[in-house]
């Protein structure tokens, strides 16, 4: 009888060997697995515990509150306000188009913002919220909240946004903020992580930009638990950031708003400076614009309207604009000659209406000439020939040196965008930049602030304050940071002969107070507040010999862009100077008719800290001034930005 196979000893031997091999392999695998598990759980446990924690816990940045900006008296110029927005989460909404359609029935949705949001939704994770409407009202938020069941995935949210309560009055000084752009990031070597937060805002121009680091503050953090795909499950804890530093400017809000209203829609600039310490009390450019439009991104139509305006509302003319200073430069030429001992206040020059230099006639503004004139009369009646003669004796280098001493041709250290340095030309400058030799005619032109000479309204205000005080005053714009005023060094003397400065001041006083003075029409009657000034008119076109022979075309008969610039500088009161003012009206015509009345009104407003008594004005002007004060008062905002009938 044959045995079954399983009972065969040979087969059983083979089976035992297979079982042994299989068991050994299993045992070896289990041993390796155990060793690996020991390595992971014991030897490398700390490393993997950290990795697991990092995968589970995310740290996210919290934007800090931006520092606020105030005027010298604590009036808010730039502040933070709650900003309501409507967000949508794509995966919760389901049919996004249908939800958007329902939402648009409740609140008005800007088409440009909506297109931007839809594009952002497509490139973002489906669980991330995307803003479809920003800066919505509380009433709109309420309507969305009430209809929440019909709007899946739609939630209201609140944050902080910048607001400029005084609209355009401080647009060219404070500037504005806007969303961080790729261009902004490209200019920074190691960008703050805050700048990568969606819709985070930074200063773009003005004080907002120049003091960005102080105003921004430092980020806070929050720890959130997320799942494997990055969805936030819960917030674990948070640490609030540090608010940015508050800035207080030297500007006086009431005066700034008055100056802006007084300039109106002129293409103009004005600067008011304290003659005692250099504080800037007003820095205005007109026309202006509303910086609030830039906070969330200005529309193409609104931006195009600003850029196509020939009065250039976006330009900070007070510090960026440079103009031939015209006759306001004559004090520099005269003072340089006095300091060099080339002339005395009694010396006279004969003015027949022109001076011939190198076979070319350089004309005086008065065609028939002024006859014999001394320094006082030359300043008072703005005789060009007198200064031509002085300049030929002085030479351009000594004129330029005096201009620099009085603050022209320098880029003053202020936290404003696009600060211009102007130009004090010299022989070396022309050879280096123009590749030409300096000629006597260049000196003659420069002596009356024409030719190559350029200055900004700020520089003219600095010049005037230095003439009034005899001190090397520097302009200041920041009064304090977080309530702490920075230390200031004692202002040094200019080192000029006081008698020579007195001669210049007397000449400027005669401009505004002598019946034949070019600024007499804009004088102040009150003895304690009389001002000393100088008119200026700078040409922007060449007058041909043929036109001069036939009669120079009047400014009012020329196209606006070909008319002369009008300038006026002054300080007051004459006995104890407190403020210096510089006004430039682009293509305004004559300094005595266009710029001087504005400067006079600004001066009195600054000295009286509000509307001056009507008795301070000449009798012939009083009715007009009363009407003007009523009109301007309606245009000026109160501390909260309310104007006219909107005031409470």
pLDDT tens string 256-310: 999 999 999 999 999 999 999 999 999 999 999 999 999 877 888 899 999 999 9
Closest among 599, 564, 594, 552 to 580, alpha carbons compared: 599
My answer on whether omega of the bond before 573 falls inside 30° of 0, hence cis, is: yes
SS3 for 194-248 is HHHCCCCEEEEEHHHHHCHHHHHCECEEEEEEECCCCCEEEEEEEECCECCCCEE
CA angle 448, 453, 456 (to 5 degrees): 105
pLDDT tens string 171-213: 999 999 988 887 888 888 788 887 877 678 899 999 999 999 9
Closest among 76, 75, 71, 104 to 88, alpha carbons compared: 104
Q: Where in the chain is the domain with CATH 3.40.710.10?
A: 253-288+316-478+499-551+564-642
d(CA 388, CA 383): 9
d(CA 572, CA 415): 27
pLDDT at 592 over 70: yes
Q: Which residues of 140-168 are buried (b: 16+ CB within 10 A; e: fewer)?
A: bbebbeeeeeebbbbebeeeebbbbbbbb
pTM value is 0.85
Q: Packing angle between helix 440-447 and helix 396-405, nearest 10 degrees?
A: 30
pLDDT tens string 62-99: 788 899 999 999 999 999 988 888 888 887 788 888 88
CATH topology of domain 53-79+162-249: Penicillin-binding protein 2a (Domain 2) (3.90.1310)
Strands across the sheet containing 532-538? 280-286, 268-274, 579-585, 565-572, 532-538
pLDDT at site 168: 93
pLDDT at 14 over 70: no
pLDDT tens string 609-625: 999 999 999 999 999 99
Closest among 355, 324, 323, 543 to 449, alpha carbons compared: 324
Among residues 267, 327, 512, 522, the one annotated as catalytic is 327
Q: What CATH code is assigned to 253-288+316-478+499-551+564-642?
A: 3.40.710.10
Average the pLDDT over 576-602 and give the result.
Answer: 96
d(CA 219, CA 193): 9
Which residues does residue 349 pair with via DSSP β-bridges, in sequence order? 373
Beta carbons of 394 and 406 less than 8 angstroms apart: no
Beta carbons of 604 and 301 less than 8 angstroms apart: no
Q: Where in the chain is the domain with CATH 3.90.1310.10?
A: 53-79+162-249
Least confident of 20-29, 318-327, 373-382, 566-575: 20-29
Beta carbons of 611 and 625 less than 8 angstroms apart: no
Least confident of 6-15, 90-99, 188-197, 438-447: 6-15
pLDDT at site 470: 97
SS3 for 316-362 is CHHHHCCECCHHHHHHHHHHHHHHCCCCCCCCCEEECCEEEECCEEE
Least confident of 205-214, 228-237, 312-321: 228-237
Of the pLDDT bands very low, low, confident and very high (cuts 50, 70, 90), residue 648 is very low
pLDDT at 3 over 70: no
On average, the pLDDT of the chain sits at 88
Instruction: Respond yes or no: is residue 327 known to be catalytic.
Output: yes
Task: Decide which of 18 and 321 is more confident.
Answer: 321
pLDDT tens string 105-134: 888 887 777 887 888 788 766 766 778 887
SS3 for 506-549 is HHHHHHHHCCCCCCHHHCCCCHHHCCEEEEEEECCCCCCHHHHH
């Amino acid at each position: 009888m044959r045995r079954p196979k399983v009972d065969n000893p040979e087969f059983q031997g083979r089976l035992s060997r297979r079982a042994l091999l299989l068991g050994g392999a299993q045992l070896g695998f289990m041993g390796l697995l155990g060793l690996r598990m020991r390595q992971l759980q014991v030897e490398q446990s700390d490393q993997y515990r950290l990795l697991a924690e990092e995968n589970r816990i995310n740290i996210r940045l919290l934007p800090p509150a931006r520092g606020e900006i105030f005027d010298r008296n604590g009036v808010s110029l730039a502040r933070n306000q709650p900003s309501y927005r409507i967000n949508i989460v794509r995966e919760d909404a389901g049919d996004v188009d249908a939800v958007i359609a329902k939402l648009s029935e409740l609140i008005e949705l800007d088409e440009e913002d909506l297109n931007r949001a839809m594009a952002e939704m497509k490139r973002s994770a489906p669980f991330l919220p995307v803003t479809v409407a920003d800066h919505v009202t509380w009433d709109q938020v309420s309507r969305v909240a009430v209809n929440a069941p019909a709007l899946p995935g739609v939630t209201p949210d609140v944050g902080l946004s910048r607001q400029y309560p005084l609209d355009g009055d401080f647009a060219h000084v404070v500037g504005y903020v806007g969303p961080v752009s790729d261009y902004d990031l490209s200019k920074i070597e190691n960008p703050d992580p805050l700048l990568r937060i969606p819709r985070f805002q930074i200063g773009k121009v003005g004080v907002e930009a120049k003091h960005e680091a102080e105003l921004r503050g430092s980020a806070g953090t929050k720890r959130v638990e997320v799942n494997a795909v990055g969805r936030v499950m819960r917030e674990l804890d948070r640490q609030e950031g540090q608010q940015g530093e508050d800035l207080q400017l030297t500007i006086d809000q009431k005066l700034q708003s008055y100056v802006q209203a007084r300039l109106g829609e002129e293409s103009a600039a004005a600067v008011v400076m304290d003659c005692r310490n250099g504080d800037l009390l007003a820095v205005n450019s007109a026309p202006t614009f509303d910086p609030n439009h830039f906070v969330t991104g200005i529309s193409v139509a609104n931006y195009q309207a600003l850029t196509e305006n020939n009065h250039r509302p976006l330009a900070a003319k007070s510090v960026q604009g440079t103009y031939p200073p015209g006759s306001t430069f004559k004090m520099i030429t005269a003072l340089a000659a006095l300091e060099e001992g080339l002339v005395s206040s009694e010396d006279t020059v004969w003015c027949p209406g022109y001076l011939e230099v190198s076979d070319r006639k350089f004309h005086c503004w008065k065609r028939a000439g002024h006859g014999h004139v001394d320094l006082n009369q030359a300043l008072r009646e703005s005789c060009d020939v007198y200064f031509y003669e002085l300049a030929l004796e002085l030479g351009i280098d000594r004129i330029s040196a005096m201009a620099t001493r009085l603050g022209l041709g320098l880029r003053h250290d202020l936290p404003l965008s696009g600060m211009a340095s102007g130009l004090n030309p010299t022989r070396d400058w022309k050879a280096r930049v123009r590749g030409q030799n300096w000629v006597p005619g260049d000196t003659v032109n420069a002596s009356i602030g024409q030719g190559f000479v350029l200055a900004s309204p700020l520089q003219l205000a600095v010049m005037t304050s230095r003439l009034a005080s005899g001190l090397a005053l520097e302009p200041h714009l920041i009064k304090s940071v977080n309530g702490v005023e920075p230390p200031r060094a004692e202002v040094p003397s200019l080192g000029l002969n006081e008698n020579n400065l007195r001669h210049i001041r007397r000449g400027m006083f005669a401009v505004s107070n002598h019946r034949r003075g070019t600024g007499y029409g804009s004088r102040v009657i009150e003895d304690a507040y009389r001002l000393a000034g100088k008119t200026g008119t700078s040409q922007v076109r060449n007058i041909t010999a043929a036109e001069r022979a036939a009669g120079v075309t009047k400014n009012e008969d020329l196209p606006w862009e070909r008319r002369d610039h009008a300038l006026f500088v002054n300080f007051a009161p004459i006995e104890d100077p407190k403020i210096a003012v510089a006004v430039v009206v682009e293509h305004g015509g004559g300094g005595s008719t266009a710029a001087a009345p504005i400067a006079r009104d600004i001066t009195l407003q600054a000295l009286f800290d509000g509307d001056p008594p009507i008795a301070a004005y000449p009798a012939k002007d009083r009715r007009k001034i009363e009407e003007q004060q009523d009109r301007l008062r309606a245009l000026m905002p109160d501390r909260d930005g309310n104007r006219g009938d909107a005031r409470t």
